[in-house]
Amino acid sequence: MTTISHNLQQVLERISAACAQAQRPTDAVTLLAVSKTWGASAVREAHAAGQTCFGENYIQEAVDKMAALRDLPLEWHCIGPIQSNKSRLVAENFDWVHTVDRLKIAQRLSDQRPVHLPPLNVCLQVNVDGGPTKSGVEPGQAQALAAQVAALPRLCLRGIMSIPEPLSEFAQQLAVHQQTRALFDAIVAAALPGVDRFDTLSMGMSADLEAAVLAGSSMVRVGTAIFGGRSYPA
Ligand SMILES: *Cc1c(COP(=O)(O)O)cnc(C)c1O
């Protein structure tokens, strides 16, 4: 077994164990393999080990990788910040975007989504722990943004995502993830017009996926635990 397939197996076992602990079915949580900074060959290796969903932060790096992997049936998720001048590349190449945090970007993505592709799946990034310099919509504004994004014709609003500040204590990780979960539940309960596939709570990374799964995450985004430490920060 290669290191990547071994690591992948271990992450899937962590997810299963966390699901069992939380009394949730194992298939309630999707693993998104975060391949930023790693080359196409690493993605190919992960795919050979059974992984199909990949997350990328840097748009140009991602598009180059997609081109090198056209022969594989992969699902690509944009999990990095999107500058306006990159929105077209995102709309044309990705299956999902987790980082919609303002209407202007959502509008551009909807306008630029090619007609031959299905609507772009999007999550709203929420600044759940309130770092003033962080991206993400403020929790109090999330429902209003959800209503606006749901009205855009070429987007499908699927849920919310969060990137809390790293915390070392399980109880602290859980508390923050539970706040995100509560916001998710509130948006579901609001039953906004056009929001009919709101099923994705994107939270949890290598260091806190257990707490995220316990709080109700449906998609964990894991890089380091699969591919190893990155040689440049991202
Ligand atoms: C890099 C990154 C991850 C993966 O983080 P690891 O700690 O390597 O698992 C998840 N989500 C986002 C938004 C990231 O930028």
Instruction: Decide whether any atom of ligand 1 lies within 6 Å of the 79 Cβ.
Output: yes
Give the residue whose CA is nearest to atom 1 of ligand 1.
234
Domains contained in the chain, CATH given: 3-227 (3.20.20.10)
Instruction: Decide whether any atom of ligand 1 lies within 6 Å of the 222 Cβ.
Output: yes
Cα(116) to centroid(ligand 1), Å: 31
CB 203 within 8 A of CB 180: yes
1 or 160: which leads in pLDDT: 160
- Comparing 12-21, 132-141, 171-180, the range with the smallest average pLDDT is 132-141
Whole-number pLDDT of residue 89: 98
pLDDT in tens, 137-169: 999 999 999 999 999 999 999 999 999 999 999
pLDDT bracket for residue 2 (50, 70, 90): confident
